[in-house]
């Protein structure tokens, strides 16, 4: 019943020329190449590593989480993105323990150096 209602709703929206957020998201996903998606995931991982473990090539987080992207992206793209992100973090610092959730897990944040 739920699927039928949603399908009918989508059909009505399409006949009226209304674009749903799902349609927009599906379009954006299809337009983004595999390399582009991997590059975005890599940037996201670099941000996480910067906040929680550092980007030093000798660190555990680099070897465990960052280095595997070299095989996916290729040496050239990997190095370009890595250097770009390291440069973008040069004016930032990590602020630790900015939030604690209901389970006692603490979170860090990035802020611009003052």
- What is the model's pTM? 0.68
Coil, helix or strand at residue 106: strand
Coil, helix or strand at residue 101: coil
| Three-state SS letters, 78-95 | HHHHHHHHHHHHHHEEEE
Tell me which DSSP letter residue 59 carries: S
Question: What is the predicted pLDDT for the residue at 8?
Answer: 41
Per-residue pLDDT of the chain (114 residues; tens, 9 = 90+): 333 334 444 444 444 444 455 555 565 555 567 778 888 899 999 999 999 988 999 999 999 999 999 999 999 999 999 999 999 999 899 999 999 999 999 999 988 887
């Amino acid at each position: 019943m739920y699927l039928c209602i949603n399908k009918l709703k989508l059909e009505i929206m399409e006949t009226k020329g209304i674009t749903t957020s799902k349609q927009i998201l599906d379009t954006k996903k299809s337009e983004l190449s595999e390399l582009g998606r991997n590059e975005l995931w890599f940037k996201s991982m670099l941000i996480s590593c910067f906040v929680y473990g550092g980007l030093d090539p000798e660190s555990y987080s680099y070897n465990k989480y960052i280095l595997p992207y070299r095989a996916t992206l290729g040496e050239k793209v990997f190095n370009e993105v890595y250097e770009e992100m390291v440069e973008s973090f040069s004016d930032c610092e990590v602020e630790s323990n900015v939030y604690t959730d209901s389970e006692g897990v603490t979170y860090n944040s990035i802020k611009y150096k003052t």
